[in-house]
Amino acid sequence: MIVRHLSEIEDTDADIKTENWRSKRIVLAKDKLGFSVHETTLYAGTVNDFWYANHIEAVFITSGEGEVENKATGEVHQLKPGSIYVLNNADKHQVRPRTEMKTVCVFNPPVTGREVHDEDGVYPLIVEEDEAAAAN
């Protein structure tokens, strides 16, 4: 059993801060669960372009309001507490929080915590060393 509290994550290398958002990576690939879990706060008035070409992500909104746009179709969906969106087709998307939004995000495959968004908003696919060895 794994039990953690956000206070254990704050201001560690699993607490990633940018000018637009902050992501506390609670469960990571090293936990060997097949998924990762993050609490991400998106700041009001920001525009966030993401594209998870190597991951499926589910995003559950726990507080705040905003919208997500599917960049391929132009569809815009309103987000509020209780909303979920799932990026199951490597969807390029833009998130625009009107107020500070807190979310719980689940990634598959799991992230290691070392990923950084590239210029397209993509996380590279990084695997833990023991996962890479098992694949060979």
* CATH at 61: 2.60.120.10
Residue 12 domain flag:
no
The runs of H, that is alpha helices, within 1-136 are 6-9, 129-135
pTM of the model: 0.84
Residue 8 domain flag:
no
**Cα separation, 81 vs 49, whole angstroms:** 21
Instruction: Provide the number of structural domains found in the chain.
Output: 1
Mean predicted lDDT score pLDDT of the chain:
88
Residue 104 domain flag:
yes
Residue 1 domain flag:
no
Residue 104 in contact with residue 63, Cβ under 8 Å?
no
Residue 118 domain flag:
no
Q: For 69-114, how does the pLDDT look when each residue is reduced to its tens digit (9 = 90+)?
A: 999 999 999 999 999 999 999 899 999 999 999 999 999 999 887 6
Residue 119 domain flag:
no
Which residues 6+ apart lie within 8 Å of 55 measured at CB?
A: 87, 107, 108, 109, 111, 123, 125
Structure token pair of residue 56: 């499926």
pLDDT value for 111 = 87
Which one-letter amino acid corresponds to residue 120? D
Residue 28 domain flag:
yes
Show the domain range for 70. 24-108
For the CA atoms of 4, 86, 46, 97, what is the dihedral angle to 10 degrees?
-90
Residue 120 domain flag:
no
Sheet with strand 84-87: strands edge to edge: 15-17, 21-27, 36-42, 101-108, 56-63, 84-87
